[in-house]
Chain A
Amino acid sequence: MLELRYRGSCPSPGEAVSPPPREGEAAGGDHETESTSDKETDIDDRYGDLDSRTDSDIPEIPASSDRTPEILKKALSGLSSRWKNWWIRGILTLTMISLFFLIIYMGSFMLMLLVLGIQVKCFHEIITIGYRVYHSYDLPWFRTLSWYFLLCVNYFFYGETVADYFATFVQREEQLQFLIRYHRFISFALYLAGFCMFVLSLVKKHYRLQFYMFAWTHVTLLITVTQSHLVIQNLFEGMIWFLVPISSVICNDITAYLFGFFFGRTPLIKLSPKKTWEGFIGGFFSTVVFGFIAAYVLSKYQYFVCPVEYRSDVNSFVTECEPSELFQLQTYSLPPFLKAVLRQERVSLYPFQIHSIALSTFASLIGPFGGFFASGFKRAFKIKDFANTIPGHGGIMDRFDCQYLMATFVHVYITSFIRGPNPSKVLQQLLVLQPEQQLNIYKTLKIHLIEKGILQPALKV
């Protein structure tokens, strides 16, 4: 049975597309070559090969050419290669940090756009890797479908968030009302259209590839799009909930690197040989301290602390409010051992600083797992960097890999420990009910409020 198969090999169109799997076996014996070319006859099976081969058989995917700007190259041409790399990384780091500050200054709307831009770029990077892994750039429809799904999912999420926050703006426009009321149905219909297009686009001999790319797209959407929307929801809670977590992760990255550079000795995990326990622990403590200080500095300003609201009169975002208790100084009595160290009876802290300890701890202990996940992913698919967008650093995903879990954690933390349900959302849902139900609820609420003393029976407005 096997004999027959080997004899039947013939050149197929697939051969032209498939040099990489051959490379590893070029020096191998006839047995290997024959079985490879034999597999070529069915393109599907060749791709199936990629599944069960172990990593060593997969060749490296060539990274795109170096994109360092000419200016930097000329300025640094004198230095040795290692220092040159250091300088490039350093300069780009400072550039990114300044860009970050600039955007913060420009306000929440710009931040939202930035988050959206980063999300689209991350999606693009991961999908491109998928294409290269599966050599599926020529699959019919697939690029269109991936971007279409990205659009659908974004539409769904933005609709859910925007409707909440722009409630007053939305109530005014008639068409927007319609879109909001049937939002889920419309999003589902759009998604279904994409699903049916996918099914109709299935081509014989490419089924497996197409299913892989479909799943790849969905997992990527799950990771990038949901995270970015959680980031935006955190942002609306108050810019401090956006800034402190992200800076803690960045600080952890940098300080762990520095501690590892100067004191690093014991390797941390086989997956990332450059990480060390010294870096890990040193990074943890410095991040907690940094988070503590950053929280103290930022808690003073209403600009960072207040929930972002859309004011219809001004037609823009405002961050003005009475800071909640989290952001008002309170005095805490120190436990005895700290008293002896600091020689103070009490200390004034913002309660938010206590929360920042939790956030920094997560950023330092669990955040790196996101980085290990990304390292494992890069090794699995034999890529050095996700892309080459940022010279010296790699792609956008490379910078954001430790942030994966942080946004979800902050969101879950806020909903569990900080705020209750969103009042405007409750109001919105109330206004959608039937009038009789509204009346019933109104009466129940009135009784409740009077009981609690919030509403005085005598006061009539």
Chain B
Amino acid sequence: GTQLRVRESESEAKVDGETASDSESRAESAPLPVSADDTPEVLNRALSNLSSRWKNWWVRGILTLAMIAFFFIIIYLGPMVLMIIVMCVQIKCFHEIITIGYNVYHSYDLPWFRTLSWYFLLCVNYFFYGETVTDYFFTLVQREEPLRILSKYHRFISFTLYLIGFCMFVLSLVKKHYRLQFYMFGWTHVTLLIVVTQSHLVIHNLFEGMIWFIVPISCVICNDIMAYMFGFFFGRTPLIKLSPKKTWEGFIGGFFATVVFGLLLSYVMSGYRCFVCPVEYNNDTNSFTVDCEPSDLFRLQEYNIPGVIQSVIGWKTVRMYPFQIHSIALSTFASLIGPFGGFFASGFKRAFKIKDFANTIPGHGGIMDRFDCQYLMATFVNVYIASFIRGPNPSKLIQQFLTLRPDQQLHIFNTLRSHLIDKGMLTSATEDE
């Protein structure tokens, strides 16, 4: 019995195992092959005389400036373009991580799996976009009949779509490849969890006001650059075994530089309505508008400086936007916890023996390499806004109220009334109107 089993598995091992051990030895001898150098010919020629190290520096520098310029252009173009860019970045990140999974598991030939992964991406995006779009485009959606039905049964439709994918997965399970298929299924879902939810939280933040999108992302980028520079010039004590290039000097210097940068940036941006107002969809003009009365957060206020700093600066009071206080919290998070996202990505790259996620950006690696510190930032900003800044959305509440039954509506109305009377906002006299 045992003999037979061992021999069977051995012959199977020879057939499939050889491929596996072959590819495994290949994988061991070299890290997963990175695609060919994508540096454009132009740059290559221009920098051909410099030494390799400086050449790398220049390439990185030029690309950094190119990305920052691109960022400014997109901001200028408005929220709609930003949304599309966020979506593209999300798809590219998903693609990069899934490709790594394929390379790790040599599972490019698994039946159906590429289709299924993209299908799940589509489903989850449909679900999230549906939830957001319904909130922000409420009036538009109510007008068009097909959209109204889609939004009313949105969850049911999304769930059905997901189920179809799930059943296709179960039906596609092939003997001898079960484990691989389950791994890829798990890999896809974890990737979706990370990439898609983050990108939707980014879009939520964006709709709250472009400043909530720009300031956090810029803080993370600034922290990246500042920590690198402080480390380059002053770096001595290593920070963590996972990333040997990071140093404590870079970490702390980056922290202070980012906080200052955040304060300055918020000061500059809080002055402009286009950054500060929530994005709204205007039905008449059929486009996005950012026009409003800026909230208290974005109005200059006087603050008394505590005694300690008074003696240093020599001012008694200072005029600041309240948002700048919040920006300190955002910058602190970006400098202290953001790097953990980077360490996570470094650990991931070491675990799977890859140098970069992909080779999309010459000198920098893949899109994921640029966004690894942003992982946690979007969630933090979203949670921060939900907890400390805005309460529930009044118009959404009214919508929900209107769908309740009449007796429930009456009950809520009476409770609200007694609450307002308690607070003194309402007196029985005003009721007579």
Contact = CB atoms under 8 A, between A and B. Distances in A.
Interface of A: 1-2, 5, 23-28, 32, 35, 39, 42, 44-45, 48-49, 51-58, 181-182, 184-185, 188, 192, 195-196, 198-200, 202, 204, 207-208, 210-211, 215-216, 218-219, 222, 269-271, 366, 369, 372-373, 376-377, 379-381, 405, 408-409, 412-413, 415-417, 420-421, 423, 426-427, 429-435, 437-442, 444-446, 448-449, 452, 454-455, 460-461
Given A56-B9, A412-B159, A435 B20 contact: no
Contact of B186 (A195, A207, A216, A431): A216
B410 interface: yes
A53 B17 CA distance: 6
Contacts of B183: 51
B391 interface: yes
B58 interface: no
Contacts of A210: 347, 351
B105 interface: yes
B42 interface: no
Interface in B384-422: 384, 386-388, 391-392, 394, 397-398, 400-406, 408-417, 419-420
How big is the B interface, by class?
A: 35 or more
Given A185-B387, A211-B351, A270-B175, A430 B28 contact: no
Interface stretch (B85-93, B270-278, B302-310, B375-383): B375-383
A244 B8 CA distance: 47
A26 B177 contact: no
A19 B21 CA distance: 17
B410 A449 contact: yes
A41 B343 CA distance: 26
Interface residues of B, dominant DSSP: helix
Contact of A215 (B176, B186, B340): B186
Lowest 10 CB-CB distances: which A-B pairs, in order? Answer: A380-B178, A207-B351, A429-B392, A416-B156, A185-B387, A56-B12, A208-B351, A380-B179, A54-B16, A421-B400
Contacts of B153: 416
Contact of A5 (B28, B167, B347, B402): B28
A426 B413 contact: no
B410 A51 contact: no
Nearest to A415: B155
Contacts of B236: none
B166 A455 contact: no
A381 B181 CA distance: 11
B347 A218 contact: no
B412 to A, nearest CB: 5
B416 A426 contact: no
Contacts of B20: 49, 52-54, 57
Contacts of B388: 185
Interface in B1-45: 6-10, 12-14, 16-17, 20-21, 23-25, 27-29
A438 B420 contact: yes
B408 A433 contact: no
Contacts of A35: 21, 25
A366 B423 contact: no
A45 B408 contact: no
Nearest to A372: B170
B53 interface: no
A439 B21 contact: no
11 contacts: A185-B388, A188-B380, A199-B344, A269-B171, A376-B178, A413-B156, A420-B404, A426-B404, A427-B412, A433-B397, A439-B425
Interface in B143-171: 152-153, 155-156, 159, 163, 166-167, 169-171
